[in-house]
Amino acid sequence: MAIPIINNWESYFHHPDEGMGSSYERVILNDILLEIVKRYQIDSVLESPAFGFTGLSGINLMELARQGIRISLEDHDASRLELIRDLWSQAQLSLDSRFNPDYTKLDYPDKSFGMSFSFSALWFCQNLRAYLQELARVSSRCILISVPNRQGLGYQSQLQDYSPARYPELKPAHIDPPSIVSILSKTGWELKRSALFDCPPWPDIGMSKEDFLERKLGIRLARKQVEAAKSNPPLCIMDHYLDKDPGFPERMRRLAFVEKHAPQAFKRIWAHHYYMLFEPGG
CATH code: domain of residue 176: 3.40.50.150
Alpha-carbon gap, residue 100 to 87, rounded angstroms: 19
Task: Give the count of domains, the chain.
Answer: 1
pLDDT of residue 165: 86
Do the bridges between strand 44-47 and strand 113-119 make them parallel or antiparallel, or are there none, so unpaired? parallel
Run of H or E residues at 96: strand 96-99
Question: What domain range is 264 assigned to?
Answer: 5-280
Helix, strand or coil, per DSSP, at residue 53: coil
Q: Which are the contacts of 159, defined by CB distance < 8 A and separation ≥ 6?
A: none
Residues sharing a CB contact under 8 Å with residue 221, sequence separation 6 or more, in sequence order: 210, 213, 214
- Bridge partners of residue 44, in order along the sequence: 70
Give the CA dihedral 64, 66, 68, 74, nearest 10 degrees.
50
- The helix/strand/coil state of 206 is coil
Q: State how far the alpha carbon of 202 is from the alpha carbons of 237, 253, 271, in Å.
A: 19, 14, 10
Phi and psi based region of residue 211 (left: phi greater than 0; alpha: psi -120 to 50; beta: remaining): alpha
Task: Report the interhelical angle of 177-186 vs 128-138 (nearest 10°).
Answer: 50
- For the chain, 282 residues long, give each residue's pLDDT as a single digit of tens: 445 578 889 999 999 999 899 999 999 999 999 999 999 999 999 999 999 877 899 999 999 999 999 999 999 999 999 999 999 999 999 999 999 999 999 999 999 999 999 999 999 999 999 999 999 999 999 999 999 999 998 888 877 778 888 888 889 899 999 999 999 999 999 999 999 999 999 887 654 444 544 454 455 645 654 454 555 789 999 999 999 999 999 999 999 999 999 999 999 999 999 999 999 996
Q: Give the whole-angstrom CA distance, residue 172 versus residue 169.
A: 10
Question: Helix, strand or coil for residue 123?
Answer: helix
Alpha carbon dihedral 209, 152, 193, 136, in 10-degree steps, equals: -90
Instruction: Describe the strand order of the beta sheet including 70-75 as a list of residue ranges.
Output: 96-99, 70-75, 44-47, 113-119, 139-148, 273-280, 189-197
